[in-house]
Amino acid sequence: MNFNQLYLFFIEGEYFKTLKITLFLSYIYLYYVQTTYYLTIMNIKNLIYIIVATITLVACQTRNESLLDPNTGAPISKKPGGAFGNEAQYENAMKSIDDNPALLQIRSLIYSNDNGEKQSVNGLIDENGEILKLSQEYSDTKGTTIAIHCYFKNKKLISAINKTVVSADKKSFCREIKSYYGENEKVVYSCSRKAKSEIDLEKIDFIADKKYNFSYSEAMEILKQTGRFETRFLSFMDAAGKEFIVVGTSGKDAYFSVLAIQPDIKAIQLIQADEKKYLNKLLKVEFTEVTEADGFTFQGLLNAEILEK
């Protein structure tokens, strides 16, 4: 019996069913022994045999029982990786998005905060600008990385994969949770797997789990530079022989981003002429990722617009 079968046996009713049957048979046997006026060692052995045999029989029957498909309510196999009847449909939809060379890549600014946490978003869109995939990535200084990949069809979330990696000596682990969504973006099925490393994780099959719902609202805030990820002017700074502008928000849980500036951008010229006037003023920034010959990579500001005068 694997973990799922043990769970079903003890938690979801089989344990109690077995207990009832065992007690009933034991009662009958003890009644028989009582009517014969003695209890011998052989009778005790027979009683133990009845208990063990009953538990084994019901436990073996549990192997053949099935889960219910969350869409149809029909019995389905409990085999790892095949516990959801429509799994292939969802997996094919995700694969068609990942393997489509015609899709365009989009990328957000890379944000950081004072605690050393970083967040960013990248994704895939079609020629009409419709988002088909969003991937939000988080990391901190304690060795934790989290990636949430959301897939869309007809502007609706159809599936999400959450992968968490914790690198902390003896507490290191890697866990992956997959959720499929039905109408109104409601979770219809979730499965997961967990191991001590990413290499070991790939060797393990997914097993059915409770339903996990993953939101993409924060990913949209990061991508659109809204909420905690607004791009307000904070300061200028010099580093690696270049001048950078720092944009972001202030206060608790605030995030900021740093971009190399071009001196010929009009909005930058206005801000540099009166930094106090434009402090915390909302900007809209366009950027690109730049990698120099020595491998140094940074965000380069292409254009900026002052939204608050």
Q: What is the pLDDT of residues 276-293, one digit of tens each?
A: 999 999 999 999 999 999
Residues 252 and 288 reside in one and the same domain: yes
Residues 185 and 230 reside in one and the same domain: no
What is the maximum alpha-carbon separation in the chain? 107
> How many of the other CB atoms lie within 10 Å of CB of 97?
19
Q: Are 48 and 58 in contact (CB under 8 A)?
A: no
Domains contained in the chain, number: 3
Is 82 a domain residue?
A: no
Instruction: Please report which residue ranges of 72-113 form alpha helices under DSSP H.
Output: 87-98
Is 154 a domain residue?
A: yes
At residue 252, the pLDDT reads 80
Is 8 a domain residue?
A: yes
Q: Give the pLDDT mean for 226-237.
A: 95
Dist. CA 171–CA 181, nearest whole Å: 32
Dist. CA 92–CA 247, nearest whole Å: 40
Cα–Cα–Cα angle for 148, 290, 248, rounded to 5 degrees: 60
Last residue of a domain, one of 219, 249, 274: 219
Residues 203 and 298 reside in one and the same domain: no
For the segment 129-182, what is each residue's pLDDT rounded down to a tens digit? 999 999 999 999 999 999 999 999 999 999 999 999 999 877 899 999 999 999
At residue 46, the pLDDT reads 53
Global confidence as pTM: 0.72
Residues 100 and 179 reside in one and the same domain: yes
Is 78 a domain residue?
A: no
Residue 107 in tokens: 């990328």
Q: Which domain holds residue 244?
A: 225-306
At residue 128, the pLDDT reads 96
Last residue of a domain, one of 15, 32, 65: 65
CA atoms within 13 A on the CB side of 181: 21
Residues 99 and 56 reside in one and the same domain: no
Residues 96 and 185 reside in one and the same domain: yes
Dist. CA 30–CA 11, nearest whole Å: 29
Residues 137 and 45 reside in one and the same domain: no
> How many of the other CB atoms lie within 10 Å of CB of 36?
9
Dist. CA 93–CA 105, nearest whole Å: 18
Report the chain's mean pLDDT, rounded to a whole number.
81
64 SS3 class: helix
